[in-house]
């Protein structure tokens, strides 16, 4: 089994280190975040850092790299306060990944890929057409992460769009049915398959327990 000390990691070629550390945390969500600037130019970019932060209200957070260079997604969200989260699925993996390319701010990624923008219910930011899960988001707050100068941006779900066929009786969204993708590292994409769902767990008889 390979072992890596902190010194080993610090001495690695930077691309090897990036791939190793980005993939060691496990599979991550694959999402396209849609925004639009004040001139009406849309932007869509792939992110793998989206995380659930609470259900009431429905809060999602994601991380952005330092804003020392142009970050259209960040700038557009801070200007308009609105953005969308769209799940990447099997048929659009290559186009979704291409949105990580660095285009000028006056170029919409929708124009250089086969992804199509759509607008719903008068919401300002564009959704990705045909994405099986689409969320209209409102910016809530942000936090500076001093350890590496990244930003945690927190948003609230204002509207959620899900096909009826994906929703189980208890509200569970079965992403496997939609062939939703996940990301391993920076560039490894997989389509997970749901194996089982387990019941809410309680302590076994005879063992002490505490409230969680």
Return the pLDDT at 173: 97
Domain 28-190 in CATH 2.30.110.10? The answer is yes
Which residue, 86, 100, 66, is CA-closest to 134? 86
**Residue 204 CA neighbour count, 13 Å, CB half:** 0
Domain ranges of the chain: 28-190
pLDDT at 68: 54
User: What is the pLDDT at residue 65?
Assistant: 83
Please list the pLDDT of the chain residue by residue as tens digits (212 residues).
Answer: 999 999 999 999 999 999 999 999 999 999 999 999 999 999 999 999 999 999 999 999 999 987 655 589 999 999 999 999 999 999 999 999 999 999 999 999 999 999 999 999 999 999 999 999 999 999 999 999 999 999 999 999 999 999 999 999 999 999 999 999 999 999 999 999 999 999 988 888 877 666 65
Give the model's pLDDT for residue 212: 58
CB atoms within 10 A of CB 19: 16
At 204 the pLDDT is 87
Question: Alpha-carbon dihedral of residues 69, 73, 78, 84, nearest 10 degrees?
Answer: -170
């Amino acid at each position: 089994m390979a072992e890596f000390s902190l010194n080993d990691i610090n001495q690695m070629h930077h691309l090897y280190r990036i791939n190793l550390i980005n993939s060691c945390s496990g599979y991550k969500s694959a999402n396209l975040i849609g925004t639009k600037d004040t001139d009406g130019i849309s932007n869509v970019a792939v992110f793998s850092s989206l995380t659930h932060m609470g259900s009431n209200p429905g809060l999602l957070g994601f991380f952005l790299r330092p804003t020392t260079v142009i970050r259209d997604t960040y700038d557009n969200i801070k200007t308009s306060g609105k953005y969308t989260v769209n799940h990447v699925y099997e048929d659009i993996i290559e186009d979704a990944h291409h949105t990580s390319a660095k285009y000028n701010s006056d170029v919409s990624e929708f124009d250089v890929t086969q992804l199509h923008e759509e607008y719903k219910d008068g919401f300002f930011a564009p959704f990705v057409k045909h994405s099986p899960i689409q969320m209209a988001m409102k910016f809530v707050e942000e936090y500076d992460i001093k350890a590496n100068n990244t930003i945690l941006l927190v948003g609230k779900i204002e509207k959620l769009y899900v096909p009826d066929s994906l929703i189980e009786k208890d509200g569970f969204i079965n992403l496997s049915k939609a062939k939703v993708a996940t990301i391993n590292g920076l560039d490894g994409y997989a389509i997970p398959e749901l194996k089982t769902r387990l019941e809410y767990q309680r302590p076994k008889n005879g063992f002490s327990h505490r409230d969680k």
